[in-house]
Structure 1
Amino acid sequence: MNKIFLREQILEIRKNLNVQKVESFSDIIINTLISSELYKKASNIMSYVSFNNEVNTHGFIAKAIEDGKKISVPYIDNKNKVMLPCLIHDINELVPGYFGILSPDPNRLKLIDEKSIDLVIVPGACFDINGYRIGYGGGYYDKFLPLLRKDTSTIGLAFSFQVIDKVPYEKYDIPVDFIITEKDFIECEVKNA
C-alpha cells in the first residue's frame, strides 16, 4: 500500500468523525499525555497546533503553559521549506498561518534552539507500531526531527484507527518513540533505526 493512498484513506475516516468523538477521544489522549513521566520530566516542549479533526492540542498547550513548561509551536517557513520552533506564552498569540493552521505571528517570532527541546508532540495522518508515520506530505517533520538531541523524546498523538501494523517508510524517515491513542500508550519498537 502506498503512502498517498493510506494518507487519503485514513484522513477520510478522520474527517468523518463527529465533533463529540474528536473531543472525547482527544481528552483521553491529552490526559494520558499529561499524566506521563515524559511530560512531567520535560521542561521544554514543542507541540503541533491541531486543526481539522486532529487530536486537539489547544487545551494541552494551555495546560503546559499553566504548568510552567516552556512551549514552542511550529512556524512553517514556506520559502525555505523548513519548520522552526517558536516559543509562545499564550495560545491566543497564534494567528492563521500555513494552510490556515494557527501559528506564531511572523512579525513576532521567538525562535528557540531545537537542541533545547526535551519533548516533541508530533502529528500524523497515520502511524505504525514501530513509530513510523505518514505526515501530510510536506516533509517538514522529516527535516526537523533529525535536528533534535538524541535524548529528546517524540510522541505521536493519534486516534486508534490511525495506528496500523506497518506503513511504508524511507531510510530518511525518523520514527517517533511513543504513540498515544484513546486506547493505548504504545512504546515503539524501533528507535531511529
Structure 2
Amino acid sequence: MTYTQQRPPMAESSDELRARIPGWGADLNPRHRPAVPMERLDPHPYGAVWDFPERQPEKWPRERSNEHAFLTPVFGTSCPPHGAAGAIRKLAYRRYSEGRAAHWLLLMAADRIDAKASTLRTFASRRPANPITETGIIAELKYHGLRSRRGQQRADLVHQPLDLLIVGGPWIAAAFGAYRLVRRIRPARARR
C-alpha cells in the first residue's frame, strides 16, 4: 500500500494478466494488429530526421523548468516577465519542479497578480476598463443569455452564481472601498 510500511505487491506477469483479464495482450503479436501493414517497426536508425536547429538568442534570462538542461531552440518572447508577477514566475521555475503543486500554484498566483495589475494600469490610461461591457453582462441581456440556459442540462449552470461573485465581487468591493474613502475624506475637508 502507498504511504504505509507494507511492501507494494509485485507486478503480475503476462501469463497471470492473460488468465485474469479476458483478451489482455491481444495486440502483442504483430500479426494481430490492424495497423501492421502501415506500422513501421524499424524507425530511422538515429531517431530524428532533422538536425538540431539554430538556437534563438536569449535577450534576457528565460524561465526554464529545472527538469530540463536547456531551453527549446525557439521560445516565445512577446511577454517578458515583469513586476511582481514576473518575480513570482521566476521563483516558481527556479525553486520548484513541474511535478510539484507549489510550482503551478505560484504560476496561477502570478497570472492573477498580472491580471489585476493590468486592470489597475487601465485606470491610469485614457480608456479605463469597463466592467459592465467586458464581463458580457450587456450581451447576456441583449442576446437572451438566461433564457438559453433555462431547462438545459448545461454544466455551466452549476457555477453561474459563483461567476457573479468571482467577476463582480472585486468590482463591488472596490466601489465600496472608494465610497468609504470618499466619505472619510469629505468630512475632513468640511472641518477645515
TM-score range, shorter chain: under 0.3
The structure having more radius of gyration, on CA atoms, is 2
**TM-score scaled by length of structure 1:** 0.21
Whose RCO is larger (CA < 8 A, sep 6+)? 1
